């Protein structure tokens, strides 16, 4: 499934490791919000979109195509 991730980079850099981001929300192509249903913890700091996509795949059991919104 294809998702768009809304990310918080500045907040993450202030609170955690450099060059990381936190997820604000995850939506599909139609704007439906999947943040809670996927179960992504918005406090976690990710290092790349690939790392976030792998977490989505792990939680959903389906391939995840991910772009930054």
Residue 56, pLDDT score = 97
Highest mean pLDDT among 1-5, 7-11, 39-43, 44-48: 1-5
- Residue 23: domain span: 2-68
Count of domains observed in the chain: 1
Residue 19, pLDDT score = 81
Sheet with strand 65-68: strands edge to edge: 22-28, 2-8, 65-68
Q: Which residue has the tokens 């990710």?
A: 46
Query: Which has the higher per-residue pLDDT, 12 or 14?
Result: 14
Tens digit of each residue's pLDDT (9 = 90 or more) over 29-38: 999 999 999 9
Q: Above 80 in pLDDT, residue 16?
A: no
Q: What average pLDDT does range 11-37 have in this prediction?
A: 84
Tell me which DSSP letter residue 44 carries: P
């Amino acid at each position: 499934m294809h998702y768009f991730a809304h990310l918080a980079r500045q907040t993450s850099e202030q609170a955690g490791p450099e060059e990381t981001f936190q997820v604000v929300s995850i939506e599909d192509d139609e704007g439906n919000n999947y943040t809670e249903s996927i179960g992504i913890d918005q406090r976690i700091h990710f290092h790349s979109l690939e790392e976030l996509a792998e977490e989505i795949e792990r939680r959903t059991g389906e391939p995840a195509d991910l772009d930054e919104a």
